[in-house]
Amino acid sequence: MTVVRPDADGFRRAVEVLRADSVVAFPTETVYGLGANAFSEKAVGEIYRLKNRPSWNPLIVHVANVEAARELAESWPVEANELAAQFWPGPLTLVLPRARHLSGVGASNDTIAIRVPAHEVALRLLEESGLPLAAPSANRSEGISPTTAEHVLRSLPDVPLVLDGGPAAWGIESTVLDLTGGGVRLLRPGAVPLRELRDVAGPVELPGEGPSDGAARPSPGMSRRHYAPRARLVLVDDVREADRDESVGVLTYETAGVEGAEVLSGDPREYAADLYAALHRLDDAGVTTILVQEPPRTEDWLAVRDRLGRAAAK
Ligand code: AMP
Ligand code: MG
């Protein structure tokens, strides 16, 4: 694998690799993505192979602007207009009916997940390659998402090329909304908070709400175990009271601090930005168990709690 700087030569090499139906890891504002031409079966197959990603889990397609997004969708509901105007470029993914002439991106369904990333390297790669890029997080399936080029290197040493754009600013994946059912339904909590989405799009249906007759579209990627470190992760009510020895690492946040712990911010956005890097550090320290102070049960912490819950799942 080669790590290159995002300069003229770096982009030239990246575009060459993408046009040859191979994959390139690149920074986005959420986490590092493993990108490939979204409509090349061979290139997309490389993503699944390298990540060991289950074939039923479809990919998000990244495009350079709203116009390019509309070309991939069969229809464009009014909510898509409003959400795209407000949040793109940015960490919001919209699931829409897929344009009929296009093939499925990964999984065989009739929808497509699209976003415009807010990262100059990602945008320039999209523009210079002229390709829509399917790009899941650049890590082995189920593992911790990469927020630096170094994380990508360690998780996926066989990726031919990585564009190094420094640490990802958000550090947590995009919020995914399903617009195919007439309303706005949350498939995955993420970087954009629900409060901001409601201000723009009105009510947002949460997972578990809505029709109970099985009519609601499932969220294929939300498997119980995901985002997991090698060490066993255990959520605890109060880390100060937990038994510890040197095989145990502790992850907590300001105001709930204990000695020898990784201490993250008490602000959910700042916490999310550092979470995966902290889990990588604890794994590197060789601990076998990571005790995590349970964050507050408020909506602001929804995305962080979602990731911690999946990381803790057996
Ligand atoms: P990631 O692997 O982090 O890129 O996550 C992509 C997320 O988007 C997963 O939860 C996928 O299941 C979801 N996703 C991608 N495409 C679709 C789609 N067409 N319909 C519903 N969810 C999708
Ligand atoms: Mg992922």
Segment 103-126, tens digit of pLDDT: 888 776 899 999 999 999 999 999
Nearest ligand to the C-alpha atom of residue 144: 2
pLDDT value of residue 65: 98
Nearest ligand to the C-alpha atom of residue 117: 1
pLDDT in tens, 202-256: 999 998 765 444 444 456 667 788 888 999 999 999 998 888 888 999 999 987 6
Lowest mean pLDDT among 49-53, 103-107, 196-200, 294-298: 103-107
pLDDT in tens, 63-98: 999 999 999 999 999 999 999 999 999 999 999 999
SS (H, E, C) the chain: CEEECCCHHHHHHHHHHHHCCCCEEECCCCCCEEEEECCCHHHHHHHHHHHCCCCCCCCEEECCCHHHHHHHECCCCHHHHHHHHHHCCCCEEEEEEECCCCCCCCCCCCEEEEECCCCHHHHHHHHHHCCCEECCECCCCCECCCCCHHHHHHHCCCCCEEECCCCCCCCCCCEEEECCCCCCEEEECCCCCHHHHHHHHCCCECCCCCCCCCCCCCCCCCCCCCCECCCEEEEECCHHHCCCCCCEEEEEECCCCCCCCEEECCCHHHHHHHHHHHHHHHHHCCCCEEEEECCCCCHHHHHHHHHHHHHHCC
pLDDT over 80 (residue 41): yes
263 Cα to the center of ligand 1, angstroms: 31
**Nearest ligand 1 atom, CA 217:** 21
pLDDT value of residue 220: 67
**Nearest ligand 1 atom, CA 57:** 12
Q: What is the mean pLDDT of the chain?
A: 93
**Nearest ligand 1 atom, CA 104:** 19
Mean of pLDDT values over 151-171:
97
Lowest mean pLDDT among 33-42, 87-96, 192-201, 223-232: 223-232
pLDDT value of residue 221: 64
pLDDT value of residue 96: 97
Domains in the chain, ordered, with CATH? 2-201 (3.90.870.10), 232-312 (no CATH)
Mean of pLDDT values over 39-55:
95
Mean of pLDDT values over 292-313:
96
Q: What is the pTM of this model?
A: 0.94
58 Cα to the center of ligand 1, angstroms: 5
pLDDT value of residue 147: 97
Mean of pLDDT values over 21-28:
98
Assess whether the C-beta atom of 180 lies below 6 angstroms from ligand 1. Answer: no
pLDDT value of residue 216: 44
pLDDT band of residue 257 (cuts 50, 70, 90) is low
pLDDT value of residue 212: 44
